[in-house]
Amino acid sequence: MAFPITRLRRLRQSEQLRSMVRETRLSPHSLVYPMFVCPGEGVRKEVRSMPGVFNLSVDQAVKEAGEAHGLGVPAVILFGLPEKKDEVATGAWAEDGVVQQAARAIKREVRDLVIMGDVCLCEYMSHGHCGVVRAAHPQSLGAAVAAPPAAATEYEIVNDATLEILARTAVSLARAGVDVIAPSDMMDGRVGAIRKALDQAGLANTPILSYAAKFASGFYGPFREAADSAPQFGDRRSYQMDGANLREAMREIGLDIEEGADMIMVKPAMPYLDVIAAARERFDLPLAAYQVSGEYAMIEAAARNNWIDRERVMLEALQSIRRAGASIILTYYAKEAARLLG
Alpha carbon distance 185, 121 (integer Å): 7
| Dihedral over alpha carbons 206, 207, 213, 218 (to 10 degrees) | -60
Which residue's CB is nearer to Zn ion, number 120 or number 292? 120
Which residue's CB is nearer to Zn ion, number 122 or number 270? 122
Length of the chain in terms of residues written? 342
Residues labelled as active-site residues: 214, 267
Amino acid in position 188? D
Point out which residues bind Zn ion (CB under 5 A): 120, 122, 130
Alpha carbon distance 180, 114 (integer Å): 8
Residues 6+ apart with CB under 8 A from 305: none
Tell me how far, at minimum, the Cβ of 184 lies from Zn ion, in Å: 6
Alpha carbon distance 309, 189 (integer Å): 43
Tell me how far, at minimum, the Cβ of 214 lies from Zn ion, in Å: 9
Helix (H, G, I), strand (E, B) or coil at 136: coil
Contact 278, 246 (CB under 8 A): yes
Tell me how far, at minimum, the Cβ of 229 lies from Zn ion, in Å: 6
Beta strands in 148-250 (DSSP E): 155-158, 180-183, 209-214
Which residue's CB is nearer to Zn ion, number 185 or number 295? 185
Amino acid in position 192? G
Beta strands in the chain (DSSP E): 31-38, 44-47, 50-57, 75-80, 114-119, 132-135, 155-158, 180-183, 209-214, 263-267, 287-290, 328-330
Tell me how far, at minimum, the Cβ of 122 lies from Zn ion, in Å: 3
Helix (H, G, I), strand (E, B) or coil at 98: helix
Tell me how far, at minimum, the Cβ of 57 lies from Zn ion, in Å: 22
Which residue's CB is nearer to Zn ion, number 50 or number 120? 120
Which residue's CB is nearer to Zn ion, number 122 or number 133? 122
Which residue's CB is nearer to Zn ion, number 207 or number 231? 231
Tell me how far, at minimum, the Cβ of 324 lies from Zn ion, in Å: 24
Alpha carbon distance 189, 258 (integer Å): 10
Tell me how far, at minimum, the Cβ of 306 lies from Zn ion, in Å: 35
Which residue's CB is nearer to Zn ion, number 195 or number 214? 214
Helix (H, G, I), strand (E, B) or coil at 118: strand
Amino acid in position 14? S
Alpha carbon distance 198, 301 (integer Å): 41
| Dihedral over alpha carbons 59, 65, 68, 69 (to 10 degrees) | -120
